[in-house]
Amino acid sequence: MSDLNDPLKESYIGKVGDALSPYVAELKAKNFDPTSLIGQLTGAGLVIEMADKARQAAEQTFAAAVANVHNMREGFYTQATGSVSLVEGLLGKNHALPQKLRGLRAELIGNQNPSGTPAPAPTPKPV
């Protein structure tokens, strides 16, 4: 069955349930009652559809959460960068604090790559 795509698998499930239906009496005579199985197979389409809608909603929620984290990070990064510029403006470029703050980013970049050069920007992942 692995050669069927998802829509064909769903169709197959329902078709098996439908195919069993006319043979209920014959199968019961062989001590197998397929009534529950038929109900499950013929109702599987609706269950699968509901599960797929839940998956889509979860994907949208996940995408929104990722975007929220990104926006928060960018906002705080902008705030931190602005703080460095503010302190530099208040105390002057040669003061120890602005020099220390300016060195933080360079230090992080150096720790990011052994050669000390900035790492290339990551490729965006599809959402």
| pLDDT tens digits, 8-66 | 999 999 999 999 999 999 999 999 999 999 999 999 999 999 999 999 999 999 999 99
Which residues are CB-neighbours of 123 under 8 A, at least 6 positions away?
A: none
Q: Is 78 exposed, middle or buried (0-12, 13-18, 19+ CB in 10 A)?
A: exposed
pTM strictly above 0.85:
no
In a domain, 100, yes or no: yes
Specify the higher pLDDT residue, 19 or 120.
19
Q: Report yes or no: 63 and 56 within 8 Å, Cβ to Cβ.
A: no
In a domain, 18, yes or no: yes
How many structural domains comprise the chain? Answer: 1
In a domain, 84, yes or no: yes
In a domain, 28, yes or no: yes
Can you tell me the distance from the alpha carbon of 79 to that of 77, in angstroms, rounded to the nearest whole number?
5
The parent domain of residue 46 ranges over: 6-112
In a domain, 54, yes or no: yes
